[in-house]
Structure 1
Amino acid sequence: MHGVPFQAHNVLESDELRKAIKDFTSWPTIPQIFLKGEFIGGCDILLEKHQNGELIEDLKKIGIKSKILAEMEEDMKNKKD
């Protein structure tokens, strides 16, 4: 939806890796979301950030322009023309 390239790693394939990621983040659930190596939270946090617009700002901070923002800007530009 935001047009962001991503990587996914199935930590459920390894009990050791699953425990390590939970210990690393102190977050009890999987999946876990990271932006440029910084832990953001789980799916619930990501959804909340998407719904309230914070995700667009978080992406902007790391140099990624959300597809949603680009489309909104294009729509505003077209309305002016």
Structure 2
Amino acid sequence: MNVEKIKKMIHRICEMLVDRPDTITIIEESRDETTILVLSVDKGDVGKIIGRNGQTAKALRALVNAAATRMGERVLLEIRE
């Protein structure tokens, strides 16, 4: 349940950053004690999610980490095309 809240947060933020919000997908994978959220967007929008020098991606990952820590979870964000 907690991870669902994080997924919704990521989705809402990404909707405001990309040109094609209908292509946003977030898939949940599990490895050991960690949940990995795999974010995929349209190829033309990947740069907007990563940002200059990876700044936007770092900020998204920091938000995910902060929310997960607060909820007592271990969640990582992976960005794929």
- Calculate the TM-score normalised by the size of structure 2: 0.28
Greater relative contact order (CA < 8 Å, ≥ 6 in sequence): 2
User: Is the strand fraction higher in 1 or 2?
Assistant: 2
